[in-house]
């Protein structure tokens, strides 16, 4: 029988997460929450004094509610003060800063033209040369043409103070990089100026730097014995989570087959290490104090692997979870797995409340919860007679249980579903386990040349076979579904359906069945409403794509993309800039129209070098504009023309600035704009939107 008393950390975790969400979406400073917390503590103390005289069930419920509200406000405060920009001495608070003293505190990622890393501002210099202690993190870029060697973790630089905030997404549906970094407590970026950037002789030695150095030494060993680029990239990602050398085609194949998690060191890899050490030390259980020796070896192995991966955040989370599970098992004969799971989540969120928005954190805990909660029910469907089919059935039931709780959030973030996930996981995970063990053996026998070479050749063959297998599954008909869009409200309803369905199957309570049917009905009504809106929508969008003029005309669930031939033939650009928005709008038919060719349909017309008309909206290219512009027309500006401003003021036309505009014309355009509209502030604000 289910009991909340058996999982006290769940009762603490739920209000704590609520406090995090309230702080992020409904912030109200610290005065009001502090007053609320003080009142709650006083009332809680009052009820505590009553309990000394009488114990009443209703009063205990009230006490539980008050305690939950206290934990909620604590979650609020932890999140509020976790934001670095609210701390005293943050580098952004120094308005007259001239130089930053910066320490690289994260692994440096190498791109084609620059190095990118996270860094911490330790000190600030003003224009008078005074030095002030500072704090705060930012995203730091080094130009590869001006940097002699790749920066290392712990190195310090003196950089010109020109940090800037991130821009909002330029296009609807585009990935919100600003929001993503803010949820990692990064709010500023800095491009190191080659003229005003100096490397300091002082460097900082930390545990994280030692971990990165050790990880790089492991990478050198793997590169020495596995030299094929495609196989090397998989080996580095599989063991150490290093993804810089991954082949994009291999990454896409793993993603579409539902096995991308094997290339990102996570709970799966830590779990394999945990099970491997448990298997090797199983004989210690029967000896005196053997379980404590086994616990020490388990914890040492887990945290050594975390150190070897460069203290990757995903492995750290998994190590914390498995460590708490192991300690709980030793201290208590039959620990509650749910309470252990929620305890690890609570501790991690107490350390970093923004983990709640980390996709890896969400997927890891949902997968483990699915395995713990749903897998036993699936496993009971079939009773294998032999060890081999029992192994296969256990693997299938685990994959199905994990997928059952993770597929909604995967659709929410990635908009695709791998149809053959059972087949691919059943084949790839055992092979991945074998490769992972082989890579550990390779590192161990590196000092024996003959054994290292032989191990490297075997690993190359296994990785080549795994790549071929994933690619073959990916090429099967209907291997994955793409463009499956879910908004947050739909996500909530789907998880409500899953929660109440599983709960009803376990507890057989009528009210759970009623809740399940209610969620299903509401979700169906919501989907029907969205589909009705999509069938009757009519939208004209001007996208911001550097080097191209791109327009999307949406009619119902059909979209016309109007641009030049180069952009229309670039599938990756369309995928990045347009597809997320088209999925959100429920588009199932896309027509690509070259703006250099004529096209005539019922509600859309494209005229070569003139523009296009979509219902009553007319887009005119500036080159074709004569002395007058028709009222209400939208004008695409591709060069500077002073006369157009008087036409806009007369007919209230809208201007769209082409991203192909030269710097000279762009400067003249903005200058003329300010000369024309500086007297009317309200008109000024509206007109600025066209230049954004």
The predicted-structure confidence for 172-196, as pLDDT tens digits, reads as follows 888 888 888 888 889 999 888 766 6
8 Å CB contact between 561 and 574: yes
Average pLDDT on 141-153 reads 80
pLDDT at residue 545 greater than cutoff 70: yes
**What is the per-residue pLDDT for 361?**
86
Average pLDDT on 211-224 reads 88
- Interacting residues of 622 by C-beta distance below 8 A, sequence separation 6+: 635, 636, 637, 638, 639, 641, 644
Average pLDDT on 498-506 reads 90
Our separate counts of H helices and E strands in the chain read: 24, 21
Two tokens at 58? 């209703």
Q: Residue written as tokens 């002073």? A: 642
**Highest-confidence range of 127-131, 472-476, 607-611, 662-666, by mean pLDDT?**
472-476
Where does the pLDDT of residue 381 fall: very low under 50, low under 70, confident under 90, or very high at 90 and above? confident
**What is the per-residue pLDDT for 469?**
92
Which phi and psi angles does 254 have, rounded to 5°?
-65, -40
The predicted-structure confidence for 681-692, as pLDDT tens digits, reads as follows 333 333 222 222
3-class secondary-structure state, position 131: strand
Average pLDDT on 129-139 reads 87
Of the candidates 627, 643, 660, 644, the residue with the CA atom closest to the CA atom of residue 635 = 644
The predicted-structure confidence for 336-356, as pLDDT tens digits, reads as follows 778 888 888 898 899 889 989
Mean pLDDT, the chain, integer:
80
Where does the pLDDT of residue 645 fall: very low under 50, low under 70, confident under 90, or very high at 90 and above? low
**What is the per-residue pLDDT for 687?**
28
CA quadruple 337, 339, 341, 347: dihedral, nearest 10: -150
Q: Centre a 10 Å sphere on the Cβ of residue 76 and count the other Cβ atoms it contains.
A: 28
Among 2-6, 120-124, 546-550, 565-569, the range scoring the smallest mean pLDDT is 2-6
Two tokens at 312? 């990757």
Q: Centre a 10 Å sphere on the Cβ of residue 675 and count the other Cβ atoms it contains.
A: 11
Work out the percent of the chain whose per-residue pLDDT is above 90.
Answer: 12
**What is the per-residue pLDDT for 161?**
84
**What is the per-residue pLDDT for 202?**
67
Higher pLDDT, 172 or 627: 172
Residue 135: DSSP 8-state: B
**What is the per-residue pLDDT for 47?**
63
The predicted-structure confidence for 10-54, as pLDDT tens digits, reads as follows 888 988 998 898 888 887 766 777 777 777 677 766 666 655 555
Where does the pLDDT of residue 644 fall: very low under 50, low under 70, confident under 90, or very high at 90 and above? low
Query: Where does 485-561 have alpha helices with state H?
Result: 488-507, 510-535
Average pLDDT on 248-276 reads 82
Where does the pLDDT of residue 261 fall: very low under 50, low under 70, confident under 90, or very high at 90 and above? confident
Average pLDDT on 537-552 reads 85
Q: Residue written as tokens 């994280």? A: 208
Two tokens at 29? 């400073």
CA quadruple 527, 530, 532, 536: dihedral, nearest 10: -160
Element (H, E) at 677: helix 663-677
Residues β-bridged to residue 197: 159
Which CATH number is correct for 91-204, 2.40.50, 2.40.30, 2.40.10, 1.10.760?
2.40.50
The predicted-structure confidence for 86-114, as pLDDT tens digits, reads as follows 888 888 888 888 888 888 887 788 887 88
Q: Centre a 10 Å sphere on the Cβ of residue 244 and count the other Cβ atoms it contains.
A: 13
Asked whether the whole model's pTM tops 0.85, one would answer: no
Where does the pLDDT of residue 516 fall: very low under 50, low under 70, confident under 90, or very high at 90 and above? very high
């Amino acid at each position: 029988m289910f009991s909340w008393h058996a999982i006290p950390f769940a009762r603490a975790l739920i209000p704590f997460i609520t406090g995090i969400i309230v702080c992020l979406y409904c912030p109200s400073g610290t005065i009001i929450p502090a007053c609320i917390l003080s009142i709650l503590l006083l009332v809680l103390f009052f009820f505590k004094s009553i309990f000394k005289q009488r114990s009443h069930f209703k009063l205990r419920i009230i006490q539980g509610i008050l305690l939950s509200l206290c934990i909620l406000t604590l979650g609020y405060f932890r999140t509020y003060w976790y934001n670095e920009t609210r701390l005293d001495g943050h580098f952004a608070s120094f308005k007259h800063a001239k130089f930053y003293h910066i320490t690289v505190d994260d692994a440096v990622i190498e791109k084609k033209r620059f190095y990118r890393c996270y860094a911490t501002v330790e000190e600030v210099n003003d224009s008078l040369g005074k030095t002030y202690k500072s704090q705060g993190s930012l995203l730091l870029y080094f130009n590869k043409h001006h940097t002699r060697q790749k920066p290392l973790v712990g190195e310090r630089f003196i950089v010109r103070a020109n940090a800037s905030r991130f821009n909002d997404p330029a296009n609807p549906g585009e990935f919100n990089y600003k929001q993503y970094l803010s949820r990692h407590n990064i709010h500023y970026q800095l491009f190191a100026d080659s003229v005003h950037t100096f490397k300091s002789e002082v460097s900082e030695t930390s545990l994280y730097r030692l971990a990165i150095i050790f990880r790089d030494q492991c990478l050198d060993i793997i590169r020495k014995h596995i030299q094929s680029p495609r196989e090397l990239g998989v080996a580095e990602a599989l063991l150490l989570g290093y993804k810089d050398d991954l082949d994009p085609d291999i990454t896409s194949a793993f993603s579409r087959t539902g096995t991308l998690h094997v290339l990102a060191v996570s709970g799966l890899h830590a779990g394999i290490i945990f099970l491997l050490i448990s298997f090797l030390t199983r004989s210690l259980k029967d000896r005196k104090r053997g379980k404590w020796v086994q616990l020490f070896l388990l914890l040492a192995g887990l945290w050594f692997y975390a150190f070897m991966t460069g203290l990757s955040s995903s492995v750290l989370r998994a190590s914390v979870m498995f460590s708490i599970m192991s300690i709980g098992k030793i201290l208590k004969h039959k620990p509650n797995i749910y309470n252990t799971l929620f305890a690890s989540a609570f501790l991690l969120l107490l350390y970093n409340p923004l983990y709640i928005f980390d996709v890896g954190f969400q997927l890891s805990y949902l997968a483990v919860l699915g395995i713990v909660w749903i897998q036993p029910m699936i496993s009971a469907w079939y009773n294998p007679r032999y060890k081999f089919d029992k192994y296969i059935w256990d693997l299938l039931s685990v994959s199905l249980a994990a997928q059952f709780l993770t597929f909604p959030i995967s659709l929410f973030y990635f908009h695709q579903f791998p149809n053959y996930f059972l087949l691919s996981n059943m084949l790839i995970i055992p092979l991945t386990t074998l490769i992972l063990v082989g890579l550990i053996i390779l590192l161990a026998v590196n000092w024996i040349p003959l054994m290292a070479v032989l191990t490297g050749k075997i690993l190359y063959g296994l990785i080549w076979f795994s790549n071929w297998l994933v690619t073959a599954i990916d090429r099967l008909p209907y291997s994955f579904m793409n463009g499956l869009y879910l908004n947050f409200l739909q996500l909530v309803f789907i998880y409500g359906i899953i929660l109440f369905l599983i709960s009803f199957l376990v507890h057989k309570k009528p009210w759970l069945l009623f809740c399940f049917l209610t969620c299903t009905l509401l979700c169906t009504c919501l989907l029907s409403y969205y589909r009705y809106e999509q069938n009757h929508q009519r939208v004209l969008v001007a996208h911001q794509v550097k080097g191209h003029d791109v327009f999307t005309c949406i009619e119902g669930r059909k979209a016309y993309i109007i641009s030049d031939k180069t952009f229309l033939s670039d599938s990756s650009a369309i995928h990045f800039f347009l597809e997320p928005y088209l999925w959100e709008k429920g588009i199932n038919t896309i027509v690509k129209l070259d703006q250099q060719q004529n096209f005539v349909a019922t509600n859309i017309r494209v005229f070569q070098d003139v523009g296009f008309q979509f219902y009553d909206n007319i887009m005119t290219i500036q080159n074709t504009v004569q002395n007058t512009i028709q009222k209400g027309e939208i004008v695409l500006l591709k060069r500077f023309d002073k006369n157009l401003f008087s036409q806009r003021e007369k007919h209230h036309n809208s201007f769209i600035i082409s991203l192909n505009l030269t710097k000279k014309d762009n400067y003249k355009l903005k200058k003329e704009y300010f000369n024309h509209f500086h007297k009317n502030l309200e008109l000024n604000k509206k007109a600025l939107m066209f230049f954004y």
